[in-house]
Amino acid sequence: MMVRVSRASTAQLAAALRDSITRLNRRIRRARPIGDLTISQLSALTSLELSGALSPRELAEAERIQPPTLTKIVAKLEDRGLVQRTPHPTDGRQVILSATEAGRAVVAENRRAHDEWLAKRLAALTAEERETLSRAAEILGRIYRGE
C-alpha cells in the first residue's frame, strides 16, 4: 500500500506505517533457523538476553502474558539449558531469570538469520531506495524513543 505523505492525513500515514511494519515484522520472524523453539519461547529468551535478567513477573509483563503461561515457557527454556534461575539478591522468595550462554547463542543465530534475510531484500533495492530506508530507520528510531 503506497501512501503519499503530502496527500495522506496523519491517521492514514499511521495506518499505512503500522500495517507495513507489522507485515515486515511477521515476515522477518519467519526467517529464522528451523528449531524446536516456539515464537513465544524465542521472544521470552530474547527479552532476557536484552535485559540481562528479570524476575518472572517482570518477564511476564515484558512479554504481555499471564504468569502461568510464562511458567510453562520458562520451564521449556530451562529444560533446554537456555535459561537459568538464580536467587533474588534481596528477596529469598523470588528468583531472577537470565539467558545462559547457549541461550544468548540461540538469540544471536536468530538475529543473524533475520539480518541475512533482510539484507538480501535490501540488496535488490536501488541505492536511492536504500538511502530512503536509512533515513526512515532513523526517523522510526526517534518515534520509538519518543523524541
8 A C-beta contact, residue 114 and residue 32: yes
How do the domains of the chain map onto residue ranges? Answer: 36-145
Higher-pLDDT residue of 91 and 117 is: 117
Residue 54 pLDDT > 90? yes
Model pLDDT for residues 93-128, shown as the tens digit of each residue: 889 999 999 999 999 999 999 999 999 999 999 999
Residue 89 pLDDT > 70? yes
What does the alpha-carbon distance between residue 65 and residue 71 come to, in Å, rounded to a whole number? 10
Q: Which CATH number fits domain 36-145: 1.10.10.10, 3.40.50.1950, 3.40.718.10, 3.30.70.20?
A: 1.10.10.10
Residue 3 pLDDT > 60? no
Model pLDDT for residues 23-49, shown as the tens digit of each residue: 999 999 888 777 779 989 999 999 999
